[in-house]
Amino acid sequence: MHRTLLAEPRHRRIRMDRFVGTAPFALSRRRLFQLVAAAGIGATRIGTAEARQAIVKPAPPDFFLQDGSNLEMRWEAMYSRGYLVPNELFFVRNNSPEVPRLDPATWRLELAGPALARPRSFSYDEILAMPSVSVIRAIECAGNGRNFFELAHGKKISGTRWTLGAIGVAEWTGVPLREVLERAGVTRTARDVMPEGADARRIRRPIPIGKAMEDDTLLVYAMNGQPLPPDHGFPLRLLVPGWVGISHVKWLSRIEVSGQLLHSDYNTTRYVLVGPDYRREPPALGPVLTTQKVKSAFELPWDGEVRAGTRLLRGRSWSGEGRILKVDVSLDDGKTWQPARLREPNIDKAWVRWDVDWDARPGAHRLRARATDSAGNTQPDEIPFNEQGYSYWAVVSHPIRVS
């Protein structure tokens, strides 16, 4: 028994390493076509009544908190689950009122701009035919934790009122963005790359050419071995590991490559830090958000109730700047701390699962977790306020009732 328990993480680690590298993924092009057809994601449903929906997948209330076109994952639904968040449970953040239903037979990805020697477009078929890569990475909304600004600073902030459930980790399969940029003849003058979505708001936010050319910056067409679901950007989305959720543009339709620095609403007036502690950085109203900071969450209901008894108190910590080195947990709202046991796997720009023994006695409790990442960042006790409530990465005091 003991031996198996010890062997399992090692086994999983070896498996993960195979997948996290550039090993070709087992999902063949043919298999993907079969799945797309079986799921009815393709052309057959376009034009039916289903074509106008804020969210396509079911949103059971024991999985999600719904706020308009957004779904927040309930952390208690992750209790004791595996490393990856299943597609059914993955949070959704849609800026536009409807999920676009795109037909992969006619959809094209257009590459344009002065820093391309051979501007061109690609069909879905052409993308699927290229060598693929699979990586395990998180996507997290920049506004995850926004509610805590209200709790900590007493200021009400507009925007989706996330607690900590606007994050998920999945295995993403696709083609390196670098591959299509090279096929379009990207030149040495390239500085910024602007991906654009096909939703009503045409979400667009630039990334620097250096980030665009990284091995794990992918044009993604599969999520956890399934065709990318409509809510998550079918037929193609961008994965920009470690960066704010808004960078991971869904329903990709166009990519502009320029020798100039590029700007949109999403890196000048939104997704920038504005407040008394931040300076303007024209044309942006403040420092532009790039990587996600280190955070932690318990696999427990927020301000909910659990049964008394001896159990494992579980949680996860993550960072957009690396892997997690250390997590400390307090069962008494910060008076005393103990190190948590980190469980394998512990993947860069994804997350790590951890646990501590907990003798849960009846009454009201407040729990805290504080993580340190491999870039040397440790969650602070407080962070300065910003008007749009981004990047709340301070330690959180988690209320829980034991009965």
Ligand X SMILES: Nc1nc2c(c(=O)[nH]1)N[C@H]1C(S)=C(S)[C@@H](COP(=O)(O)O)O[C@H]1N2
CB of 246 to Mo ion, least distance (A): 5
Measure the N-to-C terminal CA separation of the chain; round to a whole number of Å. 32
By CB under 5 A, tell whether 93 contacts Mo ion: yes
Query: Which residues inside 247-276 make contact with ligand X, applying CB under 6 A?
Result: 248-251
Minimal CB distance residue for Mo ion: 141
Size of the site for Mo ion (CB under 5 A): 4
CB of 141 to ligand X, least distance (A): 3
Cβ nearer to ligand X, comparing 116 with 138: 138
Cβ nearer to Mo ion, comparing 93 with 295: 93
Q: Which of 100, 145, 245, 286 binds Mo ion (CB under 5 A)?
A: 245
Report the partner that residue 318 touches, choosing among Mo ion, ligand X, none (CB closer than 5 to 8 A by kind).
none
Give the DSSP H/E element, type plus range, for residue 267. Answer: none
380-to-153, 243, 322, 374 alpha-carbon distances in Å: 15, 20, 17, 16
User: What is the x/- site pattern for ligand X, positions 90-129, by CB under 6 A?
Assistant: xxxxxxx---------------------------------
- Which has the closest alpha carbon to 263: 233, 243, 288? 288
CB of 206 to Mo ion, least distance (A): 16
DSSP structure class, residue 245: G
By CB under 6 A, tell whether 199 contacts ligand X: yes
CA 378 to chain centre: 20
Rg (alpha carbons) of the chain, rounded to whole number: 21
CB of 136 to ligand X, least distance (A): 15
Q: Which of 203, 236, 255, 274 binds ligand X (CB under 6 A)?
A: 203
Q: Are strands 309-318 and 341-346 parallel, antiparallel or unpaired?
A: unpaired
Query: Which residues inside 211-240 make contact with ligand X, applying CB under 6 A?
Result: 232
Q: How far apart are CA 66 and CA 254, in angstroms?
A: 30
CB of 146 to Mo ion, least distance (A): 10
By CB under 5 A, tell whether 141 contacts Mo ion: yes
Cβ nearer to Mo ion, comparing 230 with 245: 245
Whether 323 and 352 have beta carbons less than 8 Å apart is answered as: yes
Cβ nearer to ligand X, comparing 202 with 366: 202
Cβ nearer to ligand X, comparing 169 with 400: 169
Angle at 332 (CA atoms; ends 330, 337), nearest 5 degrees: 30
For residue 170, the SS3 value is strand
Query: Which residues inside 286-345 make contact with ligand X, applying CB under 6 A?
Result: none
Report the partner that residue 317 touches, choosing among Mo ion, ligand X, none (CB closer than 5 to 8 A by kind).
none
Report the partner that residue 327 touches, choosing among ligand X, Mo ion, none (CB closer than 5 to 8 A by kind).
none
Report the partner that residue 203 touches, choosing among ligand X, Mo ion, none (CB closer than 5 to 8 A by kind).
ligand X
Whether 402 and 308 have beta carbons less than 8 Å apart is answered as: yes
Size of the site for ligand X (CB under 6 A): 19
Q: How far apart are CA 59 and CA 48, in angstroms?
A: 21
Report the partner that residue 197 touches, choosing among ligand X, Mo ion, none (CB closer than 5 to 8 A by kind).
ligand X
CB of 140 to ligand X, least distance (A): 7
Q: Are strands 237-239 and 295-298 parallel, antiparallel or unpaired?
A: unpaired
For residue 389, the SS3 value is coil
Q: How far apart are CA 341 and CA 234, in angstroms?
A: 38
Cβ nearer to ligand X, comparing 90 with 354: 90
Report the partner that residue 293 touches, choosing among Mo ion, ligand X, none (CB closer than 5 to 8 A by kind).
none
Give me the residues that bind Mo ion (CB under 5 A), please. Answer: 93, 141, 245-246
Give me the residues that bind ligand X (CB under 6 A), please. Answer: 90-96, 139, 141, 197, 199, 203, 232, 245-246, 248-251
